[in-house]
């Protein structure tokens, strides 16, 4: 626990309770309450346990599980959240009175906490049921099974991106395309998933260089998945898109994401190709895709490298001028082969957060001027903060999305628990390889890799997370922490994952609390859209 984080448990005061405190220590036992609520939400509740923790403190109220955290943007107030992510902001005095059970009834703080089921007045059955319902809604993904299935048709690619995360191969190298046998076996595994709604996403390399694999898998899934909802998507440079391929993608309602890193000077430096003019070639593909599939089905993903850090406004302006209205600004990955180029392309998280704040403020400025533009990752975070629902975004799940929500089928027939796990595999770390695509799904899900993920997969149990008020909005991402700290259960507080998300949540809370009505309206509109597992907005 950090000095800025408190949990509603008997040791939240930083020391063992004194004799004077012992008389009401049980009412403050947040960890026990969490077990009760989680059991009621995802299993069978226990009335015996409910009665054990129904005690009230000296102020006549009982404390349901809350977590508290100080953030720079809150001007001396503390963020307090319940298990479902509903929040209140308290002064230091109000927070102290909450923890020692003396917060006066009838105050605005008391009423806000009571309304959000952070405290109870003795009748615990109703708030327990309501909290369990909220938690069940927020964690609905737990019961879905793997819904995102990522296919890697080929490792071949004609780009030489400095921040590339995967082991790309030259265009003319043989042996790096997925075989028909492995492709059809992947379809078997996809359809073994119990998820009612499936997404099949093609990545690379450059996936269009193995369009025959894309076509085979798409047609087979379509034929065999009758009655199930299936979404097809692809991340591509679009350099190899043809009218015939575009027509096929349109007929199967593909959603496309193109990597565009901002103005031509930045993009072409980040993503060089033989003959140059990388951005111009991508934009030709974007134009064709928009013409055939429609503009709403073509999105941009922007990786921020060191060369773009000093020009966030120019980057936003460039993307908007190209017709994109949903931007996804992401930092350089710490996975796979990108680690080797970190000295050239990387930066510390503080630099990215400074970039992101300026970019986000520019996007909000455009909205105030009448141009509707959104930043997709901010929208994902806001959905977690402001609505009862999870976005579905895999990196922000607890239990973790790796394996439970996504499976990755590599070109060679290996199956990984996440795309990041595949990148680690390419550099000699097979920790998250579940097995071979020819193995049944049940066997893959019982692999040693899944046991490893389980150890670090529940954020509420991880050091640095368990007492943080942001944890209901955040995720555990054990693959990231294995890659950066060597342990799926590493202390999150020292990780760039934690630093990034604490910074982003702090920025958004500051805008919600201190921004004008127009800013709050824009942020709320982003939160109430629907988002896919990869962070892309759904129509």
CA distance 48 to 329: 49
Using an 8 Å Cβ cutoff, are 341 and 162 in contact? yes
Q: According to the model, what pLDDT value does residue 9 have? A: 33
CA distance 72 to 474: 18
Structure-block tokens of residue 240: 């190899």
Say what the pTM is.
Answer: 0.88
Mean predicted confidence (pLDDT) in 428-443? 96
Mean predicted confidence (pLDDT) in 339-349? 67
Q: According to the model, what pLDDT value does residue 174 have? A: 67
Q: According to the model, what pLDDT value does residue 42 have? A: 64
Mean predicted confidence (pLDDT) in 203-208? 91
Average pLDDT, the chain: 86
Using an 8 Å Cβ cutoff, are 403 and 453 in contact? yes
Structure-block tokens of residue 494: 């020292």
pLDDT at 13 over 50: no
Q: According to the model, what pLDDT value does residue 20 have? A: 30
CA distance 435 to 416: 7
pLDDT tens, 452-467? Answer: 999 999 999 898 898 9
Structure-block tokens of residue 490: 């590493």
Using an 8 Å Cβ cutoff, are 400 and 477 in contact? yes
Q: Is 169 helix (H, G, I), strand (E, B) or coil?
A: strand
Q: Where are the beta strands (DSSP E) in 334-468?
A: 374-375, 406-409, 414-416, 433-436
Q: Element (H or E) spanning 123, and its range?
A: none
Structure-block tokens of residue 409: 């089928």
CA distances from 389 to 116, 133, 137 (A): 16, 11, 6
Confidence of residue 355 (pLDDT cuts 50, 70, 90): very high
Greater model confidence, 110 or 427: 110
pLDDT tens, 255-269? Answer: 999 988 888 888 777
Label residue 126 exposed, middle or buried (CB < 10 Å: 0-12, 13-18, 19+).
Answer: exposed
CA distance 341 to 421: 19
Greater model confidence, 336 or 423: 423
Using an 8 Å Cβ cutoff, are 289 and 323 in contact? no
- Where does 144-236 have alpha helices with state H? 180-192, 211-224
Q: What are phi and psi of 76, to 5 degrees?
A: 90, -10
pLDDT at 532 over 80: no
Using an 8 Å Cβ cutoff, are 428 and 170 in contact? no
The contacts of residue 487 (CB under 8 Å, 6+ apart) are 456, 481
Using an 8 Å Cβ cutoff, are 244 and 214 in contact? no
Greater model confidence, 535 or 225: 225
Length, in residues, of the chain: 539
Greater model confidence, 346 or 215: 215
Mean predicted confidence (pLDDT) in 385-394? 95
Q: Where are the beta strands (DSSP E) in 126-186?
A: 148-151
CA distance 121 to 63: 9
pLDDT tens, 130-142? Answer: 988 999 999 999 8
pLDDT tens, 273-331? Answer: 777 788 999 999 999 999 999 999 999 999 898 888 989 999 999 999 999 999 999 98
Confidence of residue 166 (pLDDT cuts 50, 70, 90): low
Q: In what order do the strands lie in the sheet with 433-436?
A: 329-331, 298-304, 255-259, 229-236, 197-202, 148-151, 406-409, 414-416, 433-436
Residue entry with tokens 């120019």: 314
CA distance 35 to 43: 11
Q: What are phi and psi of 27, to 5 degrees?
A: -65, -20
Residues of 147-169 as b/e, b for ≥16 C-beta within 10 angstroms? bbbbbbbbbbbbbebbbbbbebb
DSSP per-residue string spanning 411-437: TTSEEESSHHHHHHHHTT--TTEEEET
Mean predicted confidence (pLDDT) in 1-6? 32
Using an 8 Å Cβ cutoff, are 476 and 457 in contact? yes
pLDDT tens, 182-192? Answer: 999 999 999 99
Using an 8 Å Cβ cutoff, are 155 and 167 in contact? yes
CA distance 524 to 360: 15
CA distance 132 to 41: 4
Q: 299 - beta bridge partners?
A: 257
Q: What is the DSSP letter of 71?
A: -
CA distances from 257 to 226, 328, 537 (A): 26, 10, 11
Closest CA to 453 of 426, 429, 480, 425: 480
Share of the chain above pLDDT 90, in %: 65
Q: Where are the beta strands (DSSP E) in 144-254?
A: 148-151, 197-202, 229-236
Using an 8 Å Cβ cutoff, are 204 and 234 in contact? no
pLDDT tens, 487-513? Answer: 999 999 889 999 999 999 999 999 999
CA distance 139 to 39: 13
Label residue 433 exposed, middle or buried (CB < 10 Å: 0-12, 13-18, 19+).
Answer: buried
Mean predicted confidence (pLDDT) in 349-365? 97
């Amino acid at each position: 626990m950090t000095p800025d984080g408190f949990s509603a448990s008997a040791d939240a005061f930083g020391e063992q309770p004194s004799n004077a405190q012992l008389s009401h220590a049980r009412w403050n036992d947040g960890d026990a309450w969490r077990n009760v609520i989680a059991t009621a939400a995802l299993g069978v509740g226990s009335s015996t346990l409910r009665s054990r923790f129904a005690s009230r403190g000296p102020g006549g109220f009982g404390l349901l599980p809350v977590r508290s955290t100080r953030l720079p943007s809150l001007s001396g107030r503390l963020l307090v959240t319940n298990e479902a992510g509903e929040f209140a902001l308290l002064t230091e005095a109000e927070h102290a009175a909450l923890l020692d059970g003396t917060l006066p009834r009838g105050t605005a703080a008391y009423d806000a906490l009571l309304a959000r089921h952070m405290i109870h007045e003795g009748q615990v059955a109703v708030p327990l049921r309501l909290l369990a319902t909220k938690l069940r809604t927020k964690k609905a993904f737990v019961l879905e099974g793997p819904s995102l299935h990522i296919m890697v048709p080929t490792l071949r690619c004609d780009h030489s991106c400095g921040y590339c995360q995967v082991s790309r191969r030259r265009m003319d190298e043989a042996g790096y395309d997925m075989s028909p046998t492995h492709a059809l076996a992947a379809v078997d595994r996809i359809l073994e998933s119990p998820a009612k709604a499936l997404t099949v996403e093609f990545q690379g390399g450059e996936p269009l260089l193995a369009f025959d694999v894309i076509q085979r898998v798409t047609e087979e899934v379509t034929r065999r998945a009758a009655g199930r909802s299936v979404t097809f998507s692809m991340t591509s440079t679009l350099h190899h898109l043809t009218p015939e391929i575009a027509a096929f993608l349109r007929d199967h309602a593909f959603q496309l994401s193109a990597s565009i890193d901002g103005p031509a000077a930045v993009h072409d430096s980040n993503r060089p190709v033989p003959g140059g003019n990388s951005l111009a070639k991508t934009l030709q593909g974007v134009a064709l895709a928009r013409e055939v599939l429609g503009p709403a089905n073509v999105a941009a993903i922007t990786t921020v490298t060191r060369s773009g850090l000093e020009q966030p406004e120019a980057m936003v302006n460039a993307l908007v001028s190209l017709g994109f209205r949903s931007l996804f600004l992401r930092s350089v990955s710490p996975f796979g082969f990108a680690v080797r180029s970190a000295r050239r392309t990387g930066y510390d998280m503080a630099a990215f957060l400074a970039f992101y704040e300026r970019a986000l403020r520019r996007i909000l400025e455009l909205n105030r001027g009448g141009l509707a533009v959104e930043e997709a990752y901010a929208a994902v975070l806001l959905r977690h903060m402001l609505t009862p629902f999870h976005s579905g975004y895999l990196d922000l799940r607890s239990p973790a999305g790796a394996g439970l929500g996504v499976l990755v089928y590599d070109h060679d027939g290996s199956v990984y628990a996440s795309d990041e796990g595949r990148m680690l595999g390419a550099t000699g770390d097979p920790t998250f390889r579940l097995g071979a695509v020819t193995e049944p799904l049940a066997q893959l899900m019982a692999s040693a890799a899944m046991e490893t993920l389980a150890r670090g997969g529940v954020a509420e149990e991880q050091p640095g997370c368990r007492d943080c008020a942001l944890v209901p909005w955040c995720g555990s991402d054990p693959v990231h922490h294995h890659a950066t700290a060597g342990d799926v259960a590493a202390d999150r507080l020292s990780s760039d994952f934690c630093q990034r998300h604490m910074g982003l949540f702090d920025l958004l809370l500051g805008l919600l609390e201190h921004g004008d009505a127009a800013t709050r309206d824009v942020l709320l509109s982003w939160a109430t859209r629907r988002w896919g597992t990869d962070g892309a907005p759904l129509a």
